[in-house]
Every structure is written in structure tokens, then in C-alpha cells.
Amino acid sequence: MEKVNLNEKFGLFSEHWTPKIVGELNGQHVKLAKLQGEFVWHKHDAEDELFFVVKGTLSMEFRDKTVTIEENEFLIVPKGVEHRPVATEEVWVMLFEPASTLNTGDAESELTKTKLDRI
């Protein structure tokens, strides 16, 4: 039973769009990711997804609006809702979602990460 220090964990990697598992509880994963640029449009048919912004500003695009998430704010994207994360400058996020969640949801591509590192 070890505590997790977010800044320490973020210091261990630099690549974008590659979530790292930093905790697991009740079948859910806690993940950290660095985001920069535009991701792909996708949805998760079975999983709600929480984005907590640790550093920077994340734009979460939906088909009908965009929600801007700042530091110390979070947004829950319900299952089935198409979304696209966009980060003009690098953003650090903490994610809470079921262990089954695939980063690109229903839009598998070269961005899809099927095996995530635990750090």
C-alpha cells in the first residue's frame, strides 16, 4: 500500500496519448496521460470516463459543443457520447475509468494502445 505522487509519476514519461496505469480499485483504473494536439473522434460503448486536469487546459470537443477543462477541474464523459480531446499546449490529465477502457474506444487506429504500462 504505497501512496502515489502525481508529479513524480508525470516525471517518468514524456510521450503523448499514452496513458500509464498508476492505480487500480474496484475494477477501475487510475491513469495518467500527457496530451498534446488533436486526438481522434471516438466513443466508449460501455464505459464512462473521467478526465481530471492536473496541468494545462484541455478542450473536450463534442459534436454539438466544446467544454474547456482547466486545472483542478474534471469532466465525466458518459458512455456512448462521441468526444475528441484537443490540447493546444501540453496537458497533464488523470483518468478514472473501467479497466476495460480502450483509449480510442470504437475508433481503433495507430493511436490505439492495447497494452498500457504501469508506472
C-alpha cell at 82: 462521441
Which window, 11-19, 32-40, 66-74, 103-111, contacts a second copy (CB under 8 A)? 66-74
Interface with a second copy includes 69 (CB under 8 A)?
yes
49/113 Cα distance (integer angstroms): 16
Among 30, 33, 35, 87, binds a second copy (CB under 8 A): 30
Task: State in angstroms the smallest separation of the CB of 6 from a second copy.
Answer: 5
Q: By CB neighbour count within 10 A (0-12 exposed, 13-18 middle, 19+ buried), where does 43 fall?
A: middle
R_g of the chain computed on alpha carbons: 13
Contact residues toward a second copy (CB under 8 A) are 1-7, 23-26, 28, 30, 47-50, 54, 62, 67-70, 72-78, 81, 96-98
